[in-house]
Amino acid sequence: MNKPRSSYKQKPQPASDAQRLRRIEMRKARSRAVSMSIMVLLIMLITAVLIINVMSQTKPRPRFIFLQEGTVEHILSSTGLIVRNETVIESAASGILKPLATEGSRVARGQKTAMVIPAEQEEKIKELAKLEQDIVELQIELMNSGKGSGARAIYDESNAAMSSVINLIRADLTRSDISNVSGYSTSLDVLIDQRTTKLLPIDFKDARIDQLKSSKTQLELSLGLETGTIYSQYPGILSFELDGLENELTMETVPEITPERFSELILLAEDSVKTKTEVEAGDPVLRITGSLTQQLIFWLEGEDSAQFEPDTYQDLSVPSDGIVIPDCRIIRSQDYDNGALVTFETSRRVEWFSDRRTLDAEIVLSSTSGLRVPLVSLVDYKEKKTEASIMIVSEGLTQLRSVRILDHDDQYAIIEPIDDSENAPVVSTILVVNPDSVEEGQIIAD
């Protein structure tokens, strides 16, 4: 008889050290994962709070201005042709051209304007320049010691003139324009030469200067400079910048200019001949403007001559020079197939433009005056609409007011109120420049 098998439970086998280590590592990994998830959630929450805070702080604040009267102008930019009555003077000798008068200065009839130094006399020219420098240095030394009555006044006068040229150089450099540097250099050289000439008659009572002056005179005679001296044959404004159009383009020929010829002349003027340093006998070297006025011709493509009635006056702006030529008289206005040819006349700035044949100007085609507001301050405005709204502040509250658009340009609009209520916008009304930053009826604190 079989004995029943006794039931019993087997004892669990003790876990190995490796298994225990794996379980510990798994628990640590789960703990790290939970901690990392909590940290990521906290970072996301903090980031969202910061974003909301920054957005609330960067919300644009309302900006206010007082309504004022102003003008909106419609401007056309165009290149103009400058016409003067000019006389060209030729060189009687060959050599190196040395100006004796500044560019754009007024000269009298018979005045020395330049001299031509023979090119083969280079060593003597250097010697002459050294003598002139020695004289100047000695004059300054004696002047500083109190000698030479009147010398200080001549120096101060020339320094003031040179300061004006230097200021022009600085102004050009701020615009990164170096096209006039050679002309400025010539002007400074001429001013220095003129100062030297004015100082020559002054008696410094010093034997050294007398000896240097005597040597300079003898050297000039040996160079034969007098034969190469160029005198002004007429009174007028001097320029060494030639373009070959002086005899062809005169005030008498202006009525004959057509749009096609105008374009040709503009291209020819751009290829103008600059100041020469070496010349041959018979070469044109300078021009004298004898007219008291100058004429400015513009081709206005797509425009109607009716906008420019003869014998009316208009200002011309020259942005590159930072100047305005006021009260230019319209003397000719003629329609062509696709535009108008308009001629202005002015007696202003003749010296300023004496070295140029063209200028880039801005012409006002039309203008409207009235209450002027920035375009960005208009509410519900589109390009072709004639009505819009503005946000004003009245009795401490923001209010929308309907206005009519009379005119506008790229930045401003001229408006007028549509209704005549007592809260209609007028001069000195407070305007909200950025109306999107406020709501209508919002209280504006002081």
Q: What is the pLDDT of residues 176-186, one digit of tens each?
A: 777 677 667 76
H helices within 58-178, ranges in order?
A: 122-144, 151-174
Residue 39 CA from chain centroid, whole number = 58
pLDDT of residue 8: 47
pLDDT at residue 185, rounded to an integer: 75
| CATH architecture entry for 64-70+370-437 | Beta Barrel (2.40)
Q: Considering only CA atoms, which of 200, 191, 193, 190 is closest in space to residue 139?
A: 200
| Calpha distance 169→178 (Å, rounded) | 8
Q: Which residue has the tokens 């400079």?
A: 225
Which pLDDT does position 55 carry in this prediction?
61
Q: Is the pLDDT of residue 47 over 60?
A: yes
* Least confident interval from 13-17, 87-91, 399-403: 13-17
**Mean pLDDT calculated for residue range 258-274:** 84
| All CATH 2.40.420.20 domain ranges in the chain, comma separated | 64-70+370-437
Give the predicted TM-score (pTM) of the model: 0.65
**CATH of the structural domain 90-116+228-240+276-289, one choice from 1.10.287.890, 1.10.10.10, 1.10.8.60, 2.40.50.100:** 2.40.50.100
Q: Three-class SS of residue 393?
A: strand
Give the number of other CB atoms < 10 A from CB of residue 291. Answer: 16
Which pLDDT belongs to residue 199?
77
CATH 2.40.50.100 domain locations along the chain? 90-116+228-240+276-289
Look at 1-15, 174-188, 392-406, 431-445 and tell me which has the smallest mean pLDDT.
Answer: 1-15
pLDDT digits (tens, 9 = 90+) for 85-115: 999 999 888 888 888 888 888 888 888 888 8
Instruction: Please name the residues in contact with 14: beta carbons below 8 A apart, sequence gap of 6 or more.
Output: none
Evaluate if residue 377 carries a pLDDT over 80.
yes
- The pLDDT value given to residue 161: 80
The pLDDT confidence band at residue 320, using thresholds 50, 70 and 90, is confident
Mean residue pLDDT across the chain: 84
Buried b (16+ CB within 10 A) or exposed e, 194-225: bbbebbeebebebeebeebeeebeebeeebeb
- Tell me what pLDDT residue 77 has: 92
Cα-based angle 440, 443, 445 (whole degrees, multiple of 5): 140
Q: Is the pLDDT reported for residue 388 higher than 60?
A: yes
Tell me which of 388 and 12 has the higher pLDDT. Answer: 388
Please tell me the class of the 74-83+249-275+290-368 domain.
mainly beta
- CA dist 349 and 267 (Å) reads 23
Question: What is the predicted pLDDT for the residue at 1?
Answer: 46
52 versus 77: the higher-pLDDT residue is: 77
- Check if the beta carbon of residue 354 is closer than 8 Å to that of residue 239: yes
User: Tens digit of pLDDT for each residue in 187-237?
Assistant: 777 777 777 777 777 777 888 888 888 888 887 777 666 667 888 888 999
| Higher per-residue confidence, 411 vs 422 | 411
Q: Does residue 424 or residue 79 have the better pLDDT?
A: 79
pLDDT of residue 151: 80
> Tokens 């644009």 — which residue?
60
